[in-house]
Amino acid sequence: AGLQRLPGGFQPVGPIPHGVMLKFFALLTNSRLERLRAHGPASINKVAAMGMALTGVTIFWFVNVFLIGTNVFRSAPWQAALAGFFVAGIVFTVDRIIVLGRGNGPIVIIMRVLFSLIIAILGGVCMDLVILKEEVDLELRVLHDREVTEALDRVAGHHAERLGQARATVVEAAAQVQEAEAMYVEEINGGPAGSGRYGVGEVAREKLELLNRRRLLLEQAQASLTRLEEEARLAELTERAQLERMQARPTLFKRIEALHSYLGKDLMAVFGWVLLTFGAILFELFPLLIKYGKGRTSYEAEVEAVDRLKQAQVAALLARQEQLLREDARLSLDERRALHTLKEVAKGYA
């Protein structure tokens, strides 16, 4: 195959390589295929490269989200596929807007680069979560155990003061009961510490009433302590159950936290993660790199020239209309009527 000079420009002679794919890539990049074929290989290759980059990034995001849904979040395959199509569609739309953008101002270029970087970094993080799933799961368990310990310490600290007071009250009440029992036994035995009368007399009955009152206070103190201990135990169980639920289905940000915690423990893991993430970011920046890195092709120059020509034609048409309006404004009413009559007569002869 070669090139042959025709009125429309240089036309390829023989079959066009990858004709179906070229049509698809031309559709993705909004290029006119019949005009694109009239240009050299540089124009065709750039359109094909941008089309392949758009397609590759879209497929990358679909596979990435699908694997995250099925392997990381344990979603059903159809749910992961729907999420993959949705996210891939958004990424494809944003990347296609970047590729089709015609403005070359610094602000426009900076905005395109920022959007591309954001998408690329998100894609790299998602890929890291898929590839390092086992390490992230292990680190999640470590973080979970640490959070459980901190939560239980926090709950224990919250109830510590009340429990301490309740236990001290029980100890004091028990000591008072023992004291009252000793006094009562001493009294009924006729000991020297009492009235000295043997048996259950009036003084012994009073000391028995004191003993019963102190026993009642001890029972109340023990019941209060039991209630506080049950509240503390229920609070610990509630906190532990909540953390277990969070551990069973950790959020995306929790996994990212676990990923960074894991990377902070191993320098070689950080090195591998940097290479992996940088490769993913570079791959996702291909549409932007191809658009601005390959230079302007003859097809793009032709498109820009056609745009400038159309703008000039529109400007000339507007100027002509303004001139006609100014001339029409200077005509008198009789002149306008005569001009209208001449136009009607001319239409009759047309």
Q: pLDDT at residue 310 above 80?
A: no
Please tell me the predicted confidence (pLDDT) of residue 342: 66
Same domain, 60 and 100: yes
Q: Are residues 161 and 240 in the same domain?
A: yes
Q: Determine what percent of the chain is predicted with pLDDT higher than 90.
A: 4
Cα–Cα distance, 37 to 1 (Å, whole number)? 13
Higher pLDDT, 141 or 19: 141
For residue 13, the model assigns a pLDDT of: 43
Assess whether 56 and 161 both reside in one domain: no
**Weakest mean pLDDT among 19-23, 92-96, 249-253, 299-303:** 299-303
pLDDT band at 17 (very low <50, low <70, confident <90, very high): very low
Average pLDDT over all residues of the chain: 76
Q: Are 170 and 221 in contact (CB under 8 A)?
A: yes
Query: What's the start-to-end Cα distance of the chain, in Å?
Result: 52
Domain boundary among 276, 295, 314: 295
Domain check: are 12 and 109 in the same one? Answer: yes
Residue indicated by tokens 């429990």: 163
Q: Verify that 141 and 53 share a domain, yes or no.
A: no
User: Residue 147 — pLDDT band, cuts 50, 70, 90?
Assistant: confident
Band of the pLDDT at 169, cuts 50, 70, 90?
confident
Return d(Cα 17, Cα 157) in angstroms, integer.
75
Pair (273, 213) in one structural domain: no
Same-domain pairing of 247 and 291: no
Instruction: Report the pLDDT value the prediction gives residue 118, as an integer from 0 to 100.
Output: 81
Q: Which of 36, 38, 49 is nearest to 295 (CA)?
A: 49
Residue 82 pLDDT exceeds 90:
yes
Residue-level pLDDT at 89: 92
| Better-scored residue on pLDDT, 192 or 7 | 192
Residues 312 and 228 in one domain: no
pTM greater than the 0.85 cutoff: no
| Residue 7: pLDDT band with limits 50, 70, 90 | very low
Distance CA 139, CA 78 (A): 29
Q: Show the CA angle centred on residue 259, arms to residues 253 and 261, nearest 5°.
A: 105
Query: Span 161-180, mean pLDDT?
Result: 83
Task: Give pLDDT, residue 200.
Answer: 64
Cα distance between residue 77 and residue 70, in whole Å: 6
* Residue 86: pLDDT over 90: yes
- State residue 4's pLDDT score: 46
* pLDDT surpasses 60 at 75: yes
Of 113, 49, 114, 123, nearest in space to 90 by CA: 123
Residue 248 reports pLDDT greater than 80 = no
What torsion do the CA atoms of 227, 228, 231, 236 make, to the nearest 10 degrees? Answer: -140
- pLDDT confidence of residue 81: 92
Clarify whether residues 159 and 180 are in a common domain.
yes
Task: Answer yes or no: is pLDDT of 21 > 70.
Answer: yes
Q: Three-state secondary structure along the chain?
A: CEEEEECCEEEEECCCCCHHHHHHHHHHCCCCHHHHCCCCHHHHHHHHHHHHHHHHHHHHHHHHHHHHHHHHCCCCHHHHHHHHHHHHHHHHHHHHHHHHCCCCCHHHHHHHHHHHHHHHHHHHHHHHHHHCHHHHHHHHHHHHHHHHHHHHHHHHHHHHHHHHHHHHHHHHHHHHHHHHHHHHHHHHECCCCCCCCECCCHHHHHHHHHHHHHHHHHHHHHHHHHHHHHHHHHHHHHHHHHHHHHHHCCCHHHHHHHHHHHHCCCHHHHHHHHHHHHHHHHHHCHHHHHHHHCCCCHHHHHHHHHHHHHHHHHHHHHHHHHHHHHHHHHCCHHHHHHHHHHHHHHHHHC
Q: Which of 25-29, 86-90, 91-95, 147-151 has the highest mean pLDDT?
A: 86-90
* Residue 8 sits in the same domain as residue 126: yes
Same domain assignment for residues 161 and 244: yes
Confidence check: pLDDT of 192 > 60: no
Domain extent at residue 309: 299-349
One domain, residues 308 and 291 = no
pLDDT of 164 above 90: no
8 Å CB contact between 281 and 121: yes
In the structure, what pLDDT confidence band is assigned to residue 34 with cuts at 50, 70 and 90?
confident
How many structural domains are present in the chain? Answer: 3
